[in-house]
Structure 1
């Protein structure tokens, strides 16, 4: 595999590094904010009720941003949007200390969320272009790098707090550094050659390429595929984001001490992040559909065991397995959407559904928990994972087949 990579043009390898850097920035920006939420709440003297409203800002903004991202990528291309959106994403982060009221803070967070959603669609669209040129799966590793960025952003927030630096110092320096990284990465992003060829074929008597022909064979059902991919990402967001809010609460519910409870989300994230480093290798051997099906069934089984046994000693390993099992779904869904005609809009809908799940997961779990209890409410995640396993075949039918590396190298040089 390394020999195949060496035969790729230098600009293809550079594009992979560049879009990976954008993934890093995307993870680092939001984590930098999240790590200092308590300090911002204290500084602005936000009540619990007002905090809940203000903290919904990023989720609300992301819904609009994902739709805007799809439209912008459609008209401007993934390279142009991936080059600018991460820089824009850094601006509201640096302006957070300027907020003097809950409403000005919420306004900044809405802008932050909108830029986050737009960046997510654009960078995944650019990653699919790079992946197609590589001729094998590389998108999982980029999502793993996003997780590294999130860890780095969180640790930066912890370090600045430990050093006693002001919020202004942290946010301004972090935003400036990440904006520079984004600007440098923009120089290496790859051209949307597929988009250019598609536009040329539209002007002439166009013949669909392999990816388009596969999707076109579904005729009017292609938007049903988009709907099913959106449902898949919505359910994935429930499974991925619930541990952030509820794993610690559940661990305390089953008798864990504070330290063990605090480790719940870290266990889930570790399983997810590490597994993404190996998922590209797995995709090239068994395909997206089988990897997603096996992974999400393992996720459902692990979560079921944790909820049925109700022991801290089984819950932490179960969270690691659950994170590993769900890790391939988002990259697989974006790859599938990227193989459809009018891919930017399809990817925008996939991103929108993921952001909607992120926004709704805590109210859904919290509302169910008040009625049926927390363990049964968390059983929704088992149902979600099992449903994703049933939807896994759509990633096979929608994703374009990989091209050979030699053909892609010739394409890049043409």
Structure 2
């Protein structure tokens, strides 16, 4: 889709606000579910091992959606997929809270994962169009809104738990909010249904897209490891206790959100290549600080740097992929997302394997290497 092909009947800031809203809403859904996992575990009397196995149902749904979502964006348009996907996502959330047994919970998790990635590809396709309309980098701010929604969802979850609200009631409120806001903002999304295409459901990406996918792969290994292992690192290596065990994760999440809003300005001023190169260096530097100086404040500083480092990589990579000359934005985003998502899946288990064979500090060195790979590969990609 060229710049000239974008015809938007409202002032362009309406599109930016609407796309920002449909980034915020799935972030709210994601954080709401994450805030009640422990409650659902207790309600269904699941062991940690059983919960871990059941949670793998969400990645299964994500994987199933990867080729389908790209095909749907190309054939029905991203606006329609945003609407259908967000409604499905909200209803799946209610299903997660209402599931009385494990089989139904697993089925809802697969649907939840499928809807999650369908929305991800659709909203990023809308974001690519908005960025073309503005003629400058704005992708980072959209992803920043997703991160802010995570804080909002976690806060609402804490209040709901404190008030003794059961998950299904909590999730029903969130779903109602999502559908109301979606109804308000949907008319201001770009209607790209007239630009649908015919073709196969899956097309092999070209070499530039594969390189972008590898950059996303390396960064998402880092991001996934931070989500799953930061608290454990602070507990076992830093010897933090009480609330301080979550200090590293909090530092990481704060700078990841802040970095996404700063990324647009930095990319506009210094270029996408320099942004990605610096991102990789910040990730590697932060992890090295945390590994070499395993003390509370130095580790917190290191995790702050890691948050800044990973914050801009996926938004910038998606921005470039959406401008592919060989594939439609939806198909290109699906291809890059597929490669990157593998890193998000395999990263945490690999960290655990290395930690078991050697030590957790050595396993965190691997994440530092992944940061350097982001810098190295970005230097060789034409952006």
Q: Structure 1 length normalisation: TM-score? A: 0.85
Q: Does the 8 Å contact 1:288/1:332 carry over to 2?
A: yes
Is the counterpart of residue 39 in structure 1 residue 23 in structure 2?
no
Q: Does the 8 Å contact 2:208/2:381 carry over to 1?
A: no
User: Quick one: which of 376, 382, 400 aligns to 2:362?
Assistant: 376
Going from structure 1 to structure 2, the CA distance change for 1:393 and 1:185 (only over 3 Å counts) comes to farther
Match of 1:348 in 2: 334
| Higher mean displacement: 358-367 or 321-330 | 358-367
CA distance in 2, matches of 1:116, 1:379: 31
Is the counterpart of residue 230 in structure 1 residue 213 in structure 2?
yes
Deviation at 1:191, TM superposition (A): 3.1
Is the counterpart of residue 334 in structure 1 residue 318 in structure 2?
yes
Deviation at 1:394, TM superposition (A): 5.8
Q: Does the 8 Å contact 1:83/1:185 carry over to 2?
A: no
Match of 2:172 in 1: 172
User: Quick one: which of 220, 226, 231 aligns to 1:243?
Assistant: 226
User: Quick one: which of 267, 270, 277 aligns to 1:283?
Assistant: 267
Deviation at 1:177, TM superposition (A): 1.1
Match of 2:3 in 1: none
Match of 1:212 in 2: none
CA distance in 1, matches of 2:276, 2:232: 28
Match of 1:12 in 2: 12
Deviation at 1:168, TM superposition (A): 1.9
Matched pairs, number:
370
CA distance in 2, matches of 1:50, 1:28: 26
Q: Does the 8 Å contact 2:219/2:314 carry over to 1?
A: yes
* Alpha-carbon displacement from aligned partner over 1:14-46 (angstroms, at most 9, x marks no partner): 111111111101111111001000100000001
Match of 1:218 in 2: none
CA distance in 1, matches of 2:32, 2:316: 27
CA distance in 1, matches of 2:282, 2:34: 30
Match of 1:302 in 2: 286
CA distance in 1, matches of 2:120, 2:184: 18
Structure 1 residue runs of 5 or longer lacking an equivalent are 1-7, 203-220, 398-414
Deviation at 1:127, TM superposition (A): 0.2
CA distance in 1, matches of 2:181, 2:41: 29
Match of 1:257 in 2: 241
* Alpha-carbon displacement from aligned partner over 1:77-121 (angstroms, at most 9, x marks no partner): 222212321121101101223212122111101110110011101
Q: Which runs of 4+ in 1 moved over 3 A?
A: 8-11, 393-397
Structure 2 residue runs of 5 or longer lacking an equivalent are 1-7
Is the counterpart of residue 142 in structure 1 residue 142 in structure 2?
yes
